[in-house]
Amino acid sequence: MDVLIHPNFIKGQFTPPPSKSYLHRAIIAASLASGKSIIKNILIGDDIQQTIEAFRSLGVKIEYLDNQLIIESTGKLNFNDNHPIYCHESGSTLRFLMPLLTNDKGIEFHGQKSLLKRPLDLYEKIFADQNIVFVRFDDYIYTEGKIKANIYHITDDTSSQYISGLLFTLPLLNGDSEIIIKENFESRKYIDMTIYMLKQFGIKIESLSNHHFFIPGNQVYKASDIDIESDYSQAAFFIVGAILNGDVTIKNLNINSLQPDKKIIDILLDSHANIDIFQDSIKVKKSLVDIQNIDLSQTIDLGPILFLLASQSKSKTNIKHINRLIHKESNRLENMVDILHKIKANYNLLDDQITISHQNTIDLKDISSYNDHRIAMSLAILSTISKSPTIIRQMEVINKSYPTFLNDLENLGIKIEYL
């Protein structure tokens, strides 16, 4: 699906979709709990659907009704039918479930080649140390053998999703475990989100320090009802849209959220943006921001939209810790640099950082989504200040995380033609 987006002022009220990160975690925990859990306020994109289908194939009953997921489980997963797990392009599904679903009968994880090529170094090392079979094929990964309770030392800046995958798994094992991560671990708050969700389902994780966790074994997940809070990652697109050319009230935001992408508010406040913060909403108006430094170490998913915002900043913007953009749904670093080149923005790329200068006139004309949902949505927002209407190719990629994005953009006054 290609779209033609007409530039215009963004104005109105907007409620972001529920947090995809929290929803993944809630589905997993509810599927491991004996009894019925209800997850309220949901949006099912492609990634979430993969996690749902994975647990359905393992015997968990999951129904969608009135913007809710009703999940009924025995608390025991059924490996008898030896169903493959289809992850498609969902890195969250693959990384969260791989340690959890290790078993002596073996299991296949299928996915797009782009997903299966992404690093799984930590799991490969753990599995090798515990004599668990791990074999990569062109279109799936096969594991055989069950993960064991242990003391896990994580010394690299790996994805927090590996740590979350272990945190879902270790409480169920026969024996206590520990996880020790390096200090200043990147994306640390995603670990906090996992621990928070585990607590809602009766699982205890003891924080011995900011980077040392004790996980008692032989625990039991307990069914629970959960209301998923709004997603700061998705709200960020409209926050930036309002900064560039708008006046938008964003409702139903948890100002005290653990979500790391809440950092977008601090970044903009520090840059003199016109933002008013209320109890459960914010009001954002068009502002000439002055962003000098951005650190993506804890907020890597904000990378694409912040690259483009930096091109509209009053002064040069230095963005550091950008290399993790390489191993996302696309090579986001390479693709965002390509976009900067296309909009004629001056930049200097060096090691793990980039400096981006202000670009007065934007005229995208016709551009690819790079088959990446976050790049596609970032380009849609930049299109609202383009000199002329913009064609964005393969816009259907937004279904991965935010299928109603274009509807929300239209409701804020942007004309979109579906080509």
The predicted-structure confidence for 108-117, as pLDDT tens digits, reads as follows: 999 998 898 8
User: In the structure, what pLDDT confidence band is assigned to residue 328 with cuts at 50, 70 and 90?
Assistant: confident
Count Cβ atoms below 10 Å from residue 247 Cβ, excluding itself: 15
3-17+230-418 domain in CATH 3.90.1150.10?
no
pLDDT at residue 241, as a whole number = 98
Q: Fill in the DSSP letter of residue 323.
A: G
Q: Is 342 annotated as a binding residue?
A: no
| pLDDT 10s digits, 250-290 | 999 999 999 999 999 999 999 999 999 999 999 999 999 99
User: In the structure, what pLDDT confidence band is assigned to residue 149 with cuts at 50, 70 and 90?
Assistant: very high
User: In the structure, what pLDDT confidence band is assigned to residue 307 with cuts at 50, 70 and 90?
Assistant: very high
Q: The tokens of 216 are what?
A: 């008692």
Which ranges of 263-372 would DSSP assign to H, the alpha helix? 263-270, 303-310, 332-342
Q: Is 56 annotated as a binding residue?
A: no
pLDDT at residue 303, as a whole number = 97
Percent of the chain's residues with pLDDT above 70: 100
pLDDT at residue 95, as a whole number = 96
pLDDT at residue 7, as a whole number = 98
**In the chain, which residues fall in CATH 3.65.10.10?**
3-17+230-418, 20-227
| pLDDT 10s digits, 159-207 | 899 999 999 999 999 999 999 998 778 788 999 999 999 999 999 999 9
Give me the torsion for CA of 143, 144, 147, 153, rounded to 10°.
Answer: -40
Percent of the chain's residues with pLDDT above 90: 89
Q: Is 130 annotated as a binding residue?
A: no
Q: Is 25 annotated as a binding residue?
A: yes
Q: Is 125 annotated as a binding residue?
A: no
Q: The tokens of 163 are what?
A: 């740590």
The active-site residue out of 46, 301, 372, 408 is 301
Strand (E) or helix (H) holding 293: strand 293-295
pLDDT at residue 256, as a whole number = 94
Q: How far is CA 184 from each of CA 189, 297, 315, rounded to the nearest angstrom?
A: 11, 9, 29
| Domain 20-227: CATH class, spelled out | alpha beta
Give me the torsion for CA of 262, 405, 87, 327, rounded to 10°.
Answer: -50
Place of tokens 């995603």: 190
Q: Is 118 annotated as a binding residue?
A: yes
pLDDT at residue 118, as a whole number = 83
Q: Is residue 301 flagged as an active site residue?
A: yes
Look at residues 238, 299, 284 and name the one whose alpha carbon lies nearest to residue 17. 238
CB 222, CB 35: distance < 8 Å: yes
Compute φ and ψ for 178, nearest 5 degrees: -135, 150
d(CA 169, CA 175): 12
Mean pLDDT calculated for residue range 329-341: 94
Please report the beta strands in 17-172, taking only residues with DSSP state E, as ranges in sequence order: 34-40, 61-65, 68-74, 85-86, 107-110, 133-136, 140-144, 151-154
Q: Is 91 annotated as a binding residue?
A: yes
Mean pLDDT calculated for residue range 122-144: 95
- Looking at the predicted structure, is the pLDDT value of residue 156 above 80? no
Q: How far is CA 160 from each of CA 82, 101, 163, 360, rounded to the nearest angstrom?
A: 28, 18, 5, 37
